[in-house]
Chain A
Amino acid sequence: DSGVTQTPKHLITATGQRVTLRCSPRSGDLSVYWYQQSLDQGLQFLIQYYNGEERAKGNILERFSAQQFPDLHSELNLSSLELGDSALYFCASSVERGGSYNEQFFGPGTRLTVL
């Protein structure tokens, strides 16, 4: 158990819908990362938040957005869903002590199926 929790574990929805994925980082970790794992694209970085602020963006679609709340949990919002958005979405957290190596701990993932 990494200490990172993600809910829900599974999500099945229809095209055009909107869903919210939730992540709670390990206690004390300030940084949250979101990754998408799909069969065709592999594991891709989507976005990073640090202590409530967006720090880096990767291959995140405009239909997707995220935020990190004052209690440090994060939500990934996916809207106007398409079949191709079906994937496993991982959240990872790290403590982010400046200048040194910071291990990312991964949650169990949310499997999204768009029908």
Chain B
Amino acid sequence: AQSVTQLGSHVSVSEGALVLLRCNYSSSVPPYLFWYVQYPNQGLQLLLKYTSAATLVKGINGFEAEFKKSETSFHLTKPSAHMSDAAEYFCAVRKSGGSNYKLTFGKGTLLTVNP
């Protein structure tokens, strides 16, 4: 079985500060990992994905994440927060093989950006 733990249900940063959202996963097989963003009253948008290629993954809007197998982590970072980054962020895991591509999500982290 796979699972995802997001540390911190709410993270608050100042505009221009580093954003760090934490995600740890558990998987019995090599996983694919994802970060999604959800703006208020909207659906989920894919920020970035790890699919067993480069361990440092760059996504949209200046976000990046690093896959660390030894730490079973896939933390999301952005060097400088912008007001428009305020949203809820979800880490998700999926098996890399088989035919069931369901995503297992973490509980989410609400990012607040203060002016």
Please tell me if A7 contacts chain B, counting CB pairs below 8 Å. Answer: no
Q: Is B42 an interface residue (CB 8 A)?
A: yes
The 3 closest A-B pairs by CB, nearest first: A43-B105, A56-B100, A106-B44
Residues of A near any B CB (own CB < 8 A): 2, 4, 31, 33, 35, 42-45, 48, 50, 55-56, 58, 90, 92, 94, 96, 101-109
Whole-angstrom distance from the CB of B79 to the nearest CB of chain A?
A: 25
Query: B108 touches which one: A43, A45, A94, A102 (CB < 8 A)?
Result: A43
Instruction: Using A42-B105, A42-B108, A43-B90 as known contacts, say yes or no to A103 and B44 having CB atoms under 8 A apart.
Output: no
The residues of B with any CB-CB pair to A shorter than 8 Å are 32, 36, 42-46, 49, 51, 90, 99-108
- Name 17 interchain pairs, CB-CB below 8 A, sorted by A: A42-B105, A42-B106, A43-B105, A43-B108, A45-B104, A48-B100, A55-B100, A58-B102, A90-B44, A103-B49, A104-B103, A105-B46, A106-B36, A106-B45, A107-B43, A108-B43, A109-B43
B39, chain A: closest CB distance, angstroms: 11
Number of A-B contacts defined by CB within 8 Å? 52
Interface of B is mostly: loop
A33-B102, A56-B100 in contact; A103/B46 too (CB < 8 A)?
yes
Q: How far is the CB of B74 from chain A (nearest CB, A)?
A: 15
Tell me whether chain A's interface is mostly helix, strand or loop, or mixed.
strand
Given the complex, which residues of A lie within 8 Å of B99, measured CB to CB?
A: 50, 55-56
Given A55-B99, A107-B43, A109-B43, the answer on whether A101 and B49 have CB atoms closer than 8 Å is yes
Most B CB contacts (10 A, CB to CB) among A31, A55, A101, A105 go to A101
Residues of A within 8 A of B100 (CB): 48, 55-56
Interchain CA distance A56-B101 in the complex, whole Å: 9
